Structure 1
Amino acid sequence: MRTTISILGCGWLGTALGKNLLQKGYIVKGSTGTNDRLNELEFTGIQPFYIRIEPELIDIDYFSFFNTDVLVIAIPPKRVENITEIFPGQIKKIIELIRQMKIPKVLFVSSTSVYEPVNKEVREGDEGNPEKPSGRAILKAEKILFDESDFQTTVVRFGGLIGANRNPGRFLAGKKNVPAGTPVNLIHRDDCVAILSQIIEKDIWGEVFNACSPVHPNKKEFYTKASEVSDLPPPEFSDVQENFKIINSDKLVQRLGYTFKYPSPMDYLKELQEWDYRI
């Protein structure tokens, strides 16, 4: 019998994952909170569902979305006041449905914002007290999921997302006083999709993984090149020091036997430049 995957949050990353899983022969259901995206999802072959998640309720058209073997939660916290309470509250509402529908496995798309900038390399288990409210909200959500014994959860903490139409040249274009020496923690969408797919295929549950390109150029090196290949104004850099972190993804590489398609975010910029020349 074919495995069914439901992706809660078919946005920029979730839709790409759904397309990849369809190609591998899975049945894929996908949710969106906007009606105009339903037809777009259906066109890809993903079974579309309207689901809007609020702290007080979940507005859903058909509960059959939650009739699935694996639920992928790919909904980032919104930038709203009290996000440290609102986002965990949304996860609790989702857990009620997971329990009700007896979903056995959950894959939670998390973020490296759960780590403090402690001026060194960080690994799984080094979370501490995240600097931003969104990081604290996500860390709370992870704990809520892992505290559940009715289903298994694996968490993947992605670095900053690049690739497809997400042009990193725009991130800091024209900004002033950007600390030059800060290392970047980025990952290409193709790597994100491959990693999530492999976790599902290899049936790896009850784990937490960092997922970030293993090479970390500094901001000056990366964003100068990003601006150049995108024909955008470069940032103005300074020698000001800022706290930083370097995300270590060794556990992911070892556990999955994973090889990054883009070991350095500079590889993506090189690809963009070569594509520009071909045009």
Structure 2
Amino acid sequence: MEPRKTIAILGAGWLGMPLVHALAHRGHAVRASCRREAIRGQLIDSGADPYPIDLPALSGPLEAFLRDCSALVVTLPPGGRRLGEEAITTYLAALAPLADFLTDELHLVYTSSTGVYGRAAEGRVTEATTPAPDTHSARAVLAAERWLSDRAARLTVLRLAGLFGPGRDPASFFACGRTVAQGDAPVNMIHQADAVAAIVHVITTGATGTFNVCAATHPTKRTFYGILSQRAGRDAPIFTAGGAAGKIVDSTALRTLGWIPRYDDLSLS
């Protein structure tokens, strides 16, 4: 039987909430941050103890939140679209209160993004590929990776590909009739359930380091979004040519450690 751990989740949103359920289902003691009363109720129903934390302003409960925890998962979004040029400063300020609690005993798992490689990257992209972020959000999460690596003794960075799953239907990503550039570019996606499984896996195994988290198949935008739109009864976007040399995110490193995705085939065949 898996040893029972006390695990804290900072950011119980679209990814954090199913993570709460998965960890509680495995018998772990789960604590999760919340800012709204409605979320508090959902966390309790999912088997977690809610803590009113909103960094950096409401950081007082952090000590109790992290006391005797063996792992902390940070899933806070960087807010690049909303904050623009201020994203890095604001994001690092939100993380700053954690500095005093990153002990040698605490395993920190941070959900980053494959966006750190940039849109100009081509061919197979591994964890050794030099990051070249080109959006405010990607720059902020890369800055967070580096800030955390300077302070956390045991750090796992999971660079998640484009997320989809319940409430995030890829068929609705592009409006009907919209022109989408580089229709021949490969798709790099990961299902919510497989992202959750990756987090659970590194907590269970204690694996540290940086890992890409992405489905093994990479159909073109034209194929992937076109078929999904058709199945949803929507007109497909209009795809322009180009992008065939685009990046293909390689997640071999995490698979070698035993991570087995359920939604690995994006070919939709």
TM over 0.5: yes
Match of 2:231 in 1: 229
Distance 1:127 1:87 in 2: 22
- The one of 87, 91, 109 equivalent to 1:107 is 109
Q: Where does structure 1 lack aligned partners over 5 or more consecutive residues? A: 271-279
Distance 2:131 2:259 in 1: 27
Match of 1:19 in 2: 21
Alpha-carbon shift at residue 118 of structure 1 (Å): 1.8
Match of 1:2 in 2: 4
Q: Which amino acid aligns with 1:126?
A: T
Match of 2:64 in 1: 64
Cα root mean square deviation, aligned = 2.0
Q: 3-state DSSP class of the match of 1:142?
A: helix
- The one of 78, 95, 100 equivalent to 1:96 is 100
Q: Which amino acid aligns with 1:193?
A: V
Cα 1:211–1:83 change in 2 (3 A) is: same
Match of 1:247 in 2: 249
CA contact (8 A) 1:50 1:60 kept: no
Q: 3-state DSSP class of the match of 1:183?
A: coil
Distance 1:65 1:232 in 2: 45
Match of 1:190 in 2: 193
Match of 1:136 in 2: 139
Distance 1:240 1:105 in 2: 42
- The one of 9, 30, 33 equivalent to 1:31 is 33
CA contact (8 A) 2:71 2:109 kept: yes
Q: Which amino acid aligns with 1:172?
A: F
Q: 3-state DSSP class of the match of 2:179?
A: coil
Match of 1:274 in 2: none
Alpha-carbon shift at residue 103 of structure 1 (Å): 5.4
Match of 2:170 in 1: 168
Match of 1:273 in 2: none
Q: 3-state DSSP class of the match of 1:36?
A: helix
Q: Where does structure 2 lack aligned partners over 5 or more consecutive residues? A: none
Q: Which amino acid aligns with 1:87?
A: Y
CA contact (8 A) 1:92 1:144 kept: no
Alpha-carbon shift at residue 179 of structure 1 (Å): 2.2
CA contact (8 A) 2:174 2:237 kept: yes
Cα 1:238–1:183 change in 2 (3 A) is: same
Number of matched pairs = 261
Instruction: Check if 1:119 corresponds to 2:130.
Output: no
Q: 3-state DSSP class of the match of 1:196?
A: helix
